A and B are shown apart, each in its own frame.
Chain A
Amino acid sequence: MNMVTTFAHLSECENARQVLDSHGIAYEAIEAAPQYARVGTAALRTSAEGQAALAMDPGISDSGWVDFRAPAQPVPQGATDEFEEDVFGDAAIMVLAPCVADLSRIRLIAHLSGNLAEALPYLNAEMPQGFFNANVPALTFMDGHRMVVLYRDRVTVAKADELVDAWRTLDSVRCLANSVWARRRSIEPSYVMRRKPPAIEIYKRLPGTNCQVCGERTCLAFAMRVWVAESTPSSCKPVFSGDYAHLKPALLEICAGLGVLPSEERTGERA
């Protein structure tokens, strides 16, 4: 039982359980309820055989499959947090897949019954470390190493550890959006556009020698690590204390918005 899937709707999950029962295939249901009931149905953990049985059945629409990983934390027993005005609504996970860059982590796309369009400028004001594109509109921010993007009526989460971790992320986004919305009269909405620099822009400001001092095999790999907030620019010793010091101001500038710089680095070059 090393595979796990989830569903956009409870009915699909029930159908899938019936199919597995009828084939006599073992599975374990992992419930999002009680705490995460607003952002997930249930997940089914089963074998490759179970996955094949569901894939063969044209009546079943699962959201996708990832390798099972034991959750670091169980789903909390408490009831869901509720809000007087609910701009987020319920989330349905439409796509579940392994991360492209890191197959041990997962990503998902959820659709919302609510609408965040009016709340996004308030969320942008409250999250200066985020990246906001008012044209879409979309707000991108990091939750630890997880990358979250909020759209009008959809949310994407990338690099979550496993499904319970992803539910927790989604539910914290739900609570954040609703609590910011509840406080909106005391917040000046912000339409300031902030753009996350592409990883290639970080790469362009590295020595390009693939010296591996940072622990990565190539400068490009290191740029990707910095981009997803898993490393800091100062791990590049040739730039910070070596022959490539001339690249330092440009590197710090491009990384300023990534939320990866310790405070003393963010102020710029001190030397």
Chain B
Amino acid sequence: MWKTAAHSFMVPDSNENSVYADNNATSPLAPEVWEEMRAWFGAAFHNASALYGPARNAARAIGHAREQVAALLGLKDSRVVVFTSGATESNNAALFGAARGNPARRHVLTTSVEHPSVLGPCAELEREGYAVTYLPVDSNGALDPARLQDALRPDTLLVSIMHANNETGILFPVGDLARLVKKFDARILTHSDATQSVGKLPIRFGEDLDHVDFLSMSAHKFHGPKGSGALLIREGAPWRPFMLGGHQEEGRRGGTYNVPGIAGLGRACELASQYLDTHEQTSRLRDEVQAYITGHIPGVWVNGANSPRLPNTLSVSFEGIEGEGLVHQLSAAAVYISTGSACTSGSTEPSHVLRAMGVPEPFIHGSVRISFSRYTTPEEVGRLCVALAVVVEKLRRLSPKRRGVQGTPDVLPITLHAGSKGNNV
């Protein structure tokens, strides 16, 4: 079917022994989600806003998806769900929409470790004359509630604090922080970017997060499709629409309904509810990797080890090597992990998140992020551990740095591409 040069890029990874451990970047589509979406790409292609029969089916599918999102997040009323193109749009809509809804207030509070899709709109608001306060985090990645309290102002418009950090997986107690904000001034709006935690942790928008006005989420982080997400907008929150167009989403977000994407998001939410108990297994695998790494590889620093974290995420720094070199060499062994943050603008500066946490200099350049999903198997985790130990040792041996890491054995008694052994991890 594909006759263009693009064909060569479309060959799927045929290596069935590959280990995918970059689920915080994106996750594989669940087969059940794909089944749900297929129909809406085929004969049922109609515009959900049209009036004839097949279009009404599409509209019903959207209503069903809205209920599925509501069920996962414990919403009493599914009308708070506004479908978007993903978390970047949701974050933009929350920040700019809140600003336009409250023109008299000119101050925004956020953290220094937010995703670029929050920091970007904050910078744009600064350019428009808003004051923005970026709260620092400590070496555990935690925010001091007293500093948040002190930074609140009479003209504070919005407080935006992520639920889980994408690089470290560290969780912020968003419910408690939002309560603190509302106690100071109930009219200050609260937003949380929950992109990394929805589908990975049980979240109740109306209970745990009962003082949060806006919540952003994205389908592709929990086995849904890319290009589909939602913004939850609390009933009555003063807010102006960000994407203007047709009357879709009750005038809150213009644009033809992405029926396959929305149906896929809904199904992904339903599956996430069903598989909520697998989080314990995922967390066990993560802890096994952490124990293996700290037990077998010298010169290791686990970021956020003492903090509440996402069950699937491990951020770890290896002394004396380059995280990017590690990712490259592991890729050759068909093990896929991430450095956690793309280096920006051609610079090779380390992650702003780890810098903010004060990770020591000899470690910070050797930082990587390992993120699992409910599809990760103990066998894959075993192969990842073995490959990590071999590659870290080799990279340290190749480096001419004089201050080698103490205790690095010359040769580890394991080989690359070795099969899994349960007791290895």
The judgment on whether A and B are partners is yes
A100 B402 Cβ-Cβ under 8 A: no
Q: Are A113 and B333 in contact (CB under 8 A)?
A: no
Q: Are B333 and A100 in contact (CB under 8 A)?
A: no
Contact call A228/B402, Cβ cutoff below 8 A = no
Q: Complex: how many Å from CA A90 to CA B399?
A: 10
A159 to B322, CA, bound (A): 19
Nearest to B126 among chain A residues (CB) is A204
Tell whether A199 is near chain B: CB-to-CB under 8 Å.
yes
Cβ-neighbour of A58 out of B324, B328, B332 (below 8 A): B332
Asked whether B344 lies within 8 Å of A95 as measured between CB atoms, the reply is: no
Contact A64:B346 (CB < 8 A) given known A113-B402, A136-B361:
no
Residue among A60, A63, A159 with max Cβ neighbours from chain B (10 Å)? A63
Nearest B residue to A48, CB-CB = B8
The 9 closest A-B pairs by CB, nearest first: A113-B400, A158-B346, A156-B348, A8-B398, A204-B127, A99-B346, A111-B399, A58-B416, A200-B123
The number of chain A residues with a CB under 8 A from chain B is 47
Q: Which residues of B contact A61 (CB under 8 A)?
A: 329, 332, 394-395, 398
The reply to whether B348 and A90 form a contact with Cβ atoms under 8 Å apart is no
Which residue of B123, B325, B399 is within 8 Å of A203 (Cβ)? B123
What is the chain B residue whose CB lies nearest that of A113?
A: B400
B400 touches A147 (CB 8 A): no
Q: Flag if A227 contacts B345 (CB, 8 Å).
A: yes
A136 contacts across to B, CB distance below 8 A: 361
Which residue in chain B gives the minimum CB-CB distance to A223? B345
Tell whether A159 pairs with B346 under 8 Å between CB atoms, given A94-B325, A94-B398: yes
B332 and A55 form a contact (CB under 8 A): yes
Q: Which of A1-39 contact B (CB under 8 A)?
A: 8-9, 12
Interface 9-residue window, one of A102-110, A186-194, A233-241: A102-110
Evaluate contact between B401 and A153: CB separation under 8 angstroms.
Answer: yes
B123: nearest residue on chain A (CB-CB)?
A200
**How would residues 200 to 231 of chain A score, 1 for a CB under 8 Å from any chain B CB and 0 otherwise?**
10011100100000000000000010011000
Find chain A residues with CB under 8 A from B325 CB: 63-64, 94-95, 109
A164 at interface (Cβ–Cβ under 8 A)? no
Residue numbers of A with Cβ under 8 A of B are: 8-9, 12, 55, 58, 60-61, 63-64, 89-92, 94-95, 97, 99-102, 105, 107, 109, 111-115, 136, 147, 149, 151-154, 156, 158-159, 199-200, 203-205, 208, 224, 227-228
For the complex, give the distance between the alpha carbons of A227 and B322 in Å. 25
The DSSP consensus for interface residues of chain B is loop
A149 touches B348 (CB 8 A): yes
B365 part of interface (Cβ distance < 8 Å): yes
B346 touches A101 (CB 8 A): yes
Q: In the docked arrangement, what's the CA distance between A63 and B332, Å?
A: 11
Can you give 14 A-B contacts (C-beta < 8 A)? A58-B416, A58-B417, A61-B329, A61-B398, A64-B328, A112-B401, A147-B347, A149-B348, A149-B349, A154-B401, A158-B346, A200-B123, A204-B123, A228-B345
Q: Which residues of A contact B124 (CB under 8 A)?
A: 208
Distance in angstroms between the alpha carbons of A231 and B402 in the assembled complex = 40
Most chain-A CB neighbours within 10 Å: which of B127, B322, B348, B399?
B348
Of the candidates B332, B333, B361, B395, the one whose C-beta lies within 8 Å of that of A94 is B395
Residues of A within 8 A of B401 (CB): 111-113, 153-154
Partner of B361, one of A8, A115, A152, A228: A152
Asked if B342 lies at the interface with its beta carbon under 8 angstroms from chain A, I say yes
Q: CA separation between A184 and B343, bound complex, in Å?
A: 34
- Give the CA-CA distance A153 to B365 in the complex, in Å: 12
**Contacting residues, chain A, for B3 (C-beta < 8 A):** none
Q: A153-B403, A204-B123, A228-B346 are in contact. List 11 more A-B contacts (CB 8 A).
A: A8-B398, A8-B399, A90-B400, A92-B400, A94-B325, A97-B328, A101-B344, A107-B348, A153-B401, A200-B123, A227-B345
